[in-house]
Structure 1
């Protein structure tokens, strides 16, 4: 079958022949119709997290398609079922195995391209909000809000009763955030009027310190990324006047729920018009290398989705 494999160089991916999936007993094989690409996958391939991805590796987590081989253990959907899943890798391919604990049926009302944008970014946003106690009437600051996670987080947080100030780099990247419910959209943390009960921070570098300076006493900072690739620098003494506050490191894969349980919530919200995935780019998977370059250079707002023609 065809797949997009890591090259180990600036092109990031190329088409290659890959073996057919050999799924575990609790995994179904999906004929992929669309997949989403995420900046974290780019950072993994380029070595930002440590060792670069080995050439020949097939990346990819967010997939939509139909089941062509049901799980051998009898769990999960039957052959022919339309599904969205969060794979363990290998999703940039014609077929991929997905554990049934990370796979849910997709109603016809939700297009494949829309659903493909849900897993990684949507799961992250949904699980971030669960760390906010009694969210109604709280004020929150979201940095990096015009990315994939940010759009979901703005809409979900607003629906939970949080007054959101969203930080976006430019007006054209922030307009949609206001439509999704942000009480205020600013183009730099310096323009954000605090203090904030909750800060969702994913940029790092100086932005982290600037955001943290706006935390309310007793507030919570949820640190879930470092998109700038710049380390944070903090001085204990700068925060004596706002203590106590809580700083939480947030890895999206640590949760008390399965991916399937949370994907089911995201799919239902989308199907009923209460969640609106932001598709900044939809293209054929032949354009994946170009899309990855644009995503890495922040030329795409929201999510980027690639389609595979049967």
Structure 2
């Protein structure tokens, strides 16, 4: 079968190759892939790929062989899935607890945009706890996770200030409910009860300074790829007794399929709107990956699989 594999090059990060079809484990369903979503973190992994690794964690398609153990959806069921890898291919084996069924009203393209970014946003919301009436600062807001977070947080009663690199990248966030859109953390007024920080570098200390006393900063990304330096005494300048927590979406013990089903339901009900900045054939994968890496795509990028 045809699959996208790492090339080890920065200008053309993936190429097509013929690979052996997957051999599902008893708890895995075989899915014919119709659409995939690419993530900025994957573009970084492609710069120095591990031997034997094949990318692909966001897929949507049709089950062509149900799991041998009888779990999960039957053959012919439309699904969205979150395999650990190897999803950028014509077929992929996916654990049944990482699959959710799709209603007819949710397309494969829309569904493919959900897994990694949607799961991260949903689980960050869970980690943040009750947010109704809180003021929240969200950095790196114009990516896929940021759009989902903005809509989910505002629907939950929070007042969100979104930080984006430019007015163009932040336009949709106001439509999704952001109370304020600024273009650097220093422009945010504060104080904030919660800071959701995904940039790192010099922005994290700036965002921390806008945190209220006993507030919480949840650090879930390092998009700047620049190390962070924090001064202990900075906490006494405002965010006294604040807490700082590292977050990774895999720390949540909820099965992926359970949370994917929540995301699918919210989309089907018109309560969650994936922001898809580009839809292209997977023949355009290399160009799409470099554009996503270099921030020329707002929100998610989805590729359809021929």
TM-score, normalization by structure 2: 0.98
Helix, strand or coil at the partner of 2:129: coil
Asked if structure 1 preserves the Cα contact closer than 8 Å seen for 2:33 and 2:60, the reply is: yes
Asked if the contact 2:6–2:13 (Cα under 8 Å) also holds between the matched residues in 1, the reply is: yes
The aligned residue for residue 195 of structure 1 is: 191
Q: CA deviation at 1:58?
A: 2.1
Give the SS at the match of 1:135.
coil
The corresponding residue for 2:271 is 274
Q: Deviations over 1:42-84 (max 9, x none)?
A: 111213xxxx333x63210100000011101000000000000
**Structure 2 unmatched ranges of 5 or more:** none
The number of equivalent residue pairs is 304
> Which residue of structure 2 lines up, in the alignment, with residue 249 of structure 1?
246
Q: Is it true that 1:57 corresponds to 2:53 in the alignment?
A: yes
Tell me which residue corresponds to 1:112.
108
Contact 1:6–1:53 (8 Å) recurs in 2: no
Question: 5+ residue gaps in structure 1?
Answer: none
State the superposition RMSD in angstroms. 0.9
- Partner of residue 43, structure 2: 42
Per the TM alignment, residue 256 of structure 1 is displaced from its structure 2 partner at its CA by 2.7
| Paired position in structure 1 for 2:18 | 17
Task: Name 1:292's counterpart in structure 2.
Answer: 289
Matched with 1:219 is 215
| Residues 58 and 89 in structure 1, CA contact (< 8 A), matched pair in contact too | yes
Could you tell me how far apart the structure 1 residues matched to 2:73 and 2:66 are? 7
1:243: how far off?
1.9
Partners of 1:58 and 1:93 within 8 A in 2? no
Query: Could you tell me how far 1:132 is from its partner in structure 2?
Result: 1.9
TM-score by length of 1: 0.97
Distance (Å, rounded) in 1 between the aligned partners of 2:60 and 2:148: 19
1:80 is the counterpart of 2:72: no
Aligned residue number for residue 308 of structure 1: 305
Partner of 1:26: 27
Please state whether the residue corresponding to 1:205 is helix, strand or coil: coil
* 1:133 to partner: Cα distance: 2.7
Question: Helix, strand or coil for the counterpart of 1:253?
Answer: helix
Contact 1:39–1:296 (Cα < 8 Å) also in 2: yes
